[in-house]
Structure 1
């Protein structure tokens, strides 16, 4: 496990944390809704793409420059912030204090529009951004040039496996209480479809009958039209036997 410290004075800014994959729903939320913490306790993730301010309008940036920032479809604004920012759960932050003049938000919390809004208590350097406004998951983003990673001296826990997904806290129903799609499911399904299209390299795909076909058939038929040489897709997960490998 690691801890992150202030690059200026060495003050520890986090509890011991272990690196995990960046959640696919990190930048996908819903306006006028408050979301829970993005990260599990004692974990952190790194976003290789630019995030946070400054932002530039899509019309000003253009398709080619947006692609260099990792954005490949039109969006209202493109981030030109730092790459490799580190995200942790707010409860894992230590020895940081809010910078009052940088605590603007849309309506229900902080949205980070003014840049880092958390300062190191040891030296006063701006080191991180707290975000918890509507449409954002509750999170703290450490600035990569303001912090340094150090070994914590605590052993890392075992890598999560399929069995961990069966625990109640990891079960996410597809539908919200108001009847709308789960925000996490919407993001995960979109990412899964993108991976499927990229992996098959344009070849047609045969989906297993049932919920997967019901969910993805329309999009798969649009992006991977039927034809000869179709590849088959199998399921994996808790309680699902590993399929026998085929050519």
Structure 2
């Protein structure tokens, strides 16, 4: 088992985690609107590498008629500047953990604010920082139509033996 530590300062950012061989299938959107939370993709005490893009930046989906709530790379948002949806064009290879596994170990990024019923972040950078040095390290995905998971940026953390 390993713990995740900040690559910048070495502070511990997770409890001991066991790496899963692949990211479990994300729970399907249940069709309900409004603030709700899907089950977490990854069980507590586990982590997995997400091969798909995750988090910011978000870009328009090439088909303005596409409204696929089950986008494999994470949340889908309505495009505020045009028809259709925005999808993630963020980094690949993020480390996905259960959000409860980071409680009390991360600090909110003061440069990012959450808006809307789904809590999608607005602003620059990841929405969680290392409390030791302030480096941006992770983002919470918790939209009402997408997965419930915390994604650590691959270059912002290191896995070290627990």
Shift of 1:113: 4.7
Aligned length: 137
Q: Given that residues 55 and 139 in structure 2 are in contact (C-alpha distance below 8 angstroms), is that contact kept between their aligned partners in structure 1? A: no
Shift of 1:54: 1.1
Q: Given that residues 36 and 138 in structure 1 are in contact (C-alpha distance below 8 angstroms), is that contact kept between their aligned partners in structure 2? A: yes
Any stretches of 5+ residues in structure 1 without a counterpart? 61-69, 153-247
Q: Given that residues 51 and 83 in structure 1 are in contact (C-alpha distance below 8 angstroms), is that contact kept between their aligned partners in structure 2? A: yes
Give TM-score scaled by structure 1 length. Answer: 0.50
Alignment-derived partner of residue 2 in structure 2 = 2
Instruction: Provide the C-alpha distance between the structure 2 equivalents of 1:80 and 1:138, rounded to a whole number of angstroms.
Output: 18
Return the structure number with greater helix share: 1
Instruction: Provide the C-alpha distance between the structure 2 equivalents of 1:51 and 1:113, rounded to a whole number of angstroms.
Output: 15
Instruction: Provide the C-alpha distance between the structure 2 equivalents of 1:85 and 1:112, rounded to a whole number of angstroms.
Output: 17
Shift of 1:10: 0.2
Give TM-score scaled by structure 2 length. Answer: 0.73
Alignment of 1:1-247 (within 5 A): 1-20=1-20, 21-25=22-26, 28-29=28-29, 30=31, 31-32=33-34, 33-59=36-62, 76-93=85-102, 95-108=105-118, 110-114=119-123, 115-152=125-162
Return the structure number with greater strand share: 2
Shift of 1:130: 1.9
Instruction: Provide the C-alpha distance between the structure 2 equivalents of 1:112 and 1:140, rounded to a whole number of angstroms.
Output: 13
RMSD over aligned Cα, in angstroms? 2.3
Q: Given that residues 38 and 137 in structure 1 are in contact (C-alpha distance below 8 angstroms), is that contact kept between their aligned partners in structure 2? A: yes
Instruction: Provide the C-alpha distance between the structure 2 equivalents of 1:6 and 1:54, rounded to a whole number of angstroms.
Output: 22
Shift of 1:134: 1.8
Any stretches of 5+ residues in structure 2 without a counterpart? 64-72, 74-83
